[in-house]
Amino acid sequence: MLGLMRELGIAPKMAQYDVIAAWPDVVGPQIARVTAPQRMENGVLYVAVTTAPWRAELSMKRLELIEKMNTRVGTRVVNDIRFR
């Protein structure tokens, strides 16, 4: 299946979809309640955050979340996360 996706050139888009779909499982229920992944663009995951304190907290955990996300999807898809 992965070979076919690569042949069709859709493997990168599928990996980006996997990142957004996996967000709640990677961050857990508490963070998932106050965030919403919006889109992936050029290796950057954009995430809406409900409050400034949460945005600050998540910004400090950014590198950890990037590593967890890439481990979850099995490839280096996320290079950065921008919290908005």
The answer to the question of residue 6 being in a domain is: no
Provide the domain limits for residue 28: 13-83
Between 76 and 5, where is the model more confident? 76
Q: Quote the CA–CA distance of 3 and 31 in Å, as a whole number.
A: 34
- For residue 31, give every residue at least 6 positions away whose Cβ sits within 8 Å of its Cβ, in sequence order, or none: 54, 58
Q: Quote the CA–CA distance of 24 and 32 in Å, as a whole number.
A: 5
Q: Quote the CA–CA distance of 9 and 63 in Å, as a whole number.
A: 28
The answer to the question of residue 35 being in a domain is: yes
Q: What is the pTM of this model?
A: 0.86
So what's the pLDDT on residue 17? 83
pLDDT band at 14 (very low <50, low <70, confident <90, very high): confident
| Number of structural domains in the chain | 1
Of the candidates 17, 50, 54, the one whose C-alpha atom is nearest the C-alpha of residue 36 is 50
CATH of the domain at 27: 3.30.300.20
The answer to the question of residue 68 being in a domain is: yes
Q: Tens digit of pLDDT for each residue in 35-68? A: 999 999 999 999 999 999 999 999 999 999 999 9
Q: How far is CA 6 from the centre of its chain?
A: 21
